[in-house]
Structure formats: structure tokens, C-alpha cells
Structure 1
């Protein structure tokens, strides 16, 4: 059994998925096709579907006109090892979109992302509740995550 996330784009699906694949190492656009027949979403040629991989996750996408806008109930989490990776992805994915608290951003297509340091998970699972509290308080004040700031909070 395989599980694949599926994204519905109103328009510009191909550009979006090619951009995503160019930003996440190890990613590929596996296939794109235009449906040659009438669909409930439109006439022949108006609907595209695609398969792609971001890192180690499989996705499918459809471009079929308006339906439901992306929202926070689905987001893509990217764990980064370095501040440079966070900074690069934050800039690229956030361009034309909007940034939010706690490492969240919405890209120009409306898709929500969480750009997080892998180190945050380690700090949040520390057995010292005082350390976790300090890290949590620091995290809640951040928009883009700052690994050095999280480490400083952990040290107290």
C-alpha cells in the first residue's frame, strides 16, 4: 500500500511543482499530462495532472480550476539541518506569499509550508521541562526560525 498527498491547483500547477522540485534537494517532477477528454472541471485540454516527489514524499497534483483554496489544515513541513537551508527556503518559498509565526509561510500559490530546523524537534523532546519551556517561548516569538536563538533559549 502506498500513500500519496494530492494537491488541487486552480491554475499554474506545472510552474508550482517545478519550482518546488527545484528548491527541495532530491526532488523530481515525475510526469505531467493533459487530459484529452471532457471532465467535470472542463473541456478537453483544460485539466492537467502530475506526479512529483519532494525529498522522500510522493505527491500528485491537478490543475482544474477553482475548488477549495489551500489552508492551514494541510501544510508541507521541511526539516532543515542548517540556518543557511532555512534562510534559502524561507526566501524562495515566501517570495510572493506571506510569512507567519512559528516557521509557517504561505507561498505565492497559497500552499502552506513549515520551514523548521531539525534541531527544534530534538530540543522540544529534551527531558528537562524547563529547557522545553524556554525553547517553546523562544519559538513562539519567531517568524522564521533562528537555530542560534533556539539553542540560546535551551541553554537559558
Structure 2
């Protein structure tokens, strides 16, 4: 199931860049029907996951609407938080001074999860920085981290990366 989701994300990423919405829809239908027949033929019981989809700079949780719809239709739980000053978050950007401030909605969400609840965190573009931050702070709650054309930092200290590259 996870492999099918990664293929869908890859197809959407590649084809959306070229603005071929019709092709995207056709490819998704093909992938879903091919994998559904595979699953039915093998009588595999699918595992349900909780996905946390993190948007990139200048976007909001809304940018994941196609993937969210597909994942929810497959029975998965999906959360698409708006980071500070993004999407429908009303925060004035003049009041956000640090990466911790910007990432606070995601950090609060991860803190609110039950202790044994694991999520698959997916980040796009600058959302990769947020994914890395979550991995460091909530390693026990992250099942898998996926970077989709995203910033992928190699760090021991999130603060050091923030100081060097973002602030």
C-alpha cells in the first residue's frame, strides 16, 4: 500500500509540474485500478496509516487536496496543518520571527498525538525542513518520513541549521 501511495505522489508531482491535469487523473485511475486488482487477487489485508502532509513555502494544507482525497478514499487518516502565516492561518507574518514560531502548528499537532500513535510525515519543498524538525523532536511518533522535492537537511542540531540557512 505504501509503495502505491509513493507512486501516486511521484506521478502527481511529475505531471502537475507540466499542468497536465487530465493525464494526472488518468494515471491515478490506472494505478489505483491496477493495484486494487493486485490486492484483490492476493487477498492482502491493507494496513491503514495516518499521514501528516506538510506544505511548502507560500502554500497551505489546501495544496494536498488531491492526495488527501485519494488517501482518505483508501481509508487512511490524513492531516494537513497550515503552518504559521500559511493557508488559512490568520497570523500576521510580521509577528513570526523564528522557525519554531513558523512550525508551531505542526509541533502542537505532533505533541497532541497519543504516545503510541505513529504517523507518516510527508513534506514538500520548504516543508522538508519542518519534517526534519519533527523527526528530531518526535522520533517516537514518526513511522516514516517522506521528502517530495523537499529541503532535506542533515543535522544533529535543528537550531544550527535554522541559524545557518533560514534566519
Whose helix fraction is larger, Structure 1's or Structure 2's? 2
Larger CA Rg, structure 1 vs 2 = 1
Whose strand fraction is larger, Structure 1's or Structure 2's? 1
Q: Give the TM-score normalised by structure 1.
A: 0.29
Q: Give the TM-score normalised by structure 2.
A: 0.28
